[in-house]
Chains A and B, each alone.
Chain A
């Protein structure tokens, strides 16, 4: 018998925080994936909510294209507030 499908596990540490990727589990279906995720990743109150997502369903960007994708942002410093000189005497801005 070959391996069960892989599921990515996301945990919300507490109310108000986003779910965060913590690892993965193998399981035959979503329900068992949730149970395995609970036993594997939340033995010490690490979370209040769990997501499992079939790993095959995740579409990832290609690291070879990270240049084209992310570098253009590097020379757009004017998108940051620190780019603008405002005299010290002007307050609350």
Chain B
């Protein structure tokens, strides 16, 4: 999801001088022993690059993820819901900041990352390129999207790169409220009028499959998973996490009286989990390529926010320069 390798190509070998085999071996041993790697420790270039890509992609997802929900802040159905939504969106901004900082410890700059996002070079989770059409979508996002995020992020608290793991601990602490408020909002709709029930089911229908896509392509099409697992950058495969998510979420939907929009969904006693239908991977890859329903709208909103905030950044810099001059005088 936030962290899946969105490219289909295997990582290319590092260019430049070959790495010292002794250093490499020591590094692999440390990681295999579940030690944490810290910013100033030696690490292979490919490890550094994979992490920069994964952490910045994760950060971008948090930042872009504010847009579909921010869209509903002024239209929340009550003051209580509005306060909750504001707090959640503010949390997501915080998550983005923790993660950008973690990525920066690897030698990339905030400016470079923002630039990569705004130019369309960097990827972010496909889920945020779907529109939020009704209030029920906000409930569905909290429940399903944050639910999938939790599933993905909990194991990352033990990821091998220290700053990333610590950022994840902080994020996970805050994430549970996001999911619970969503489920609560969904419960209200599911127990409401016939129109509200329809709204809940409609939102569920539209968010179910994109949520399953958040875990990334199937394992056989995820060429870098093995390497990332060996380096403890990833702790579970995409399919393992997706299965876990389905198993946990289906009973939650049943409790709400909602129907999972998958005719192939069936409990499988032997595996102790659900069998479920095939995700539409063509749709997934189209969204990865930037063809999601509101992909362009999202990037326009991001760039506008950046440009419209320029005067604030400039004023703060000018203020600091003036103060420094005064102090020197």
Contact = CB atoms under 8 A, between A and B. Distances in A.
Interface in B309-329: 313-314, 316-317, 319-320, 323
A12 interface: no
Contacts of A25: 97, 101
A23 B40 contact: no
B314 A1 contact: yes
B307 interface: no
B109 A3 contact: yes
Interface string B92-124: 001001100100100001110000000000000
B52 to A, nearest CB: 16
Q: Could you tell me the dominant secondary structure of chain B's interface residues?
A: helix
Interface string B297-316: 00000000000000001101
Nearest to B166: A23
Nearest to A26: B110
Interface residues of B, number: 26
Q: In which size bucket is the chain A interface?
A: 20 to 34
Contact of B38 (A23, A39, A63): A63
Q: Which of A6, A23, A27, A43 has the most CB of B within 10 A?
A: A23
B41 interface: yes
A48 to B, nearest CB: 18
Given A2-B111, A3-B110, 8 more contacts: A2-B109, A23-B166, A24-B101, A24-B104, A26-B110, A32-B316, A60-B40, A63-B42
10 contacts: A1-B314, A2-B111, A3-B110, A24-B101, A27-B316, A28-B319, A29-B316, A29-B319, A43-B91, A63-B42
Interface of B: 38, 40-42, 87, 90-91, 94, 97-98, 101, 104, 109-111, 166-167, 170, 174, 313-314, 316-317, 319-320, 323
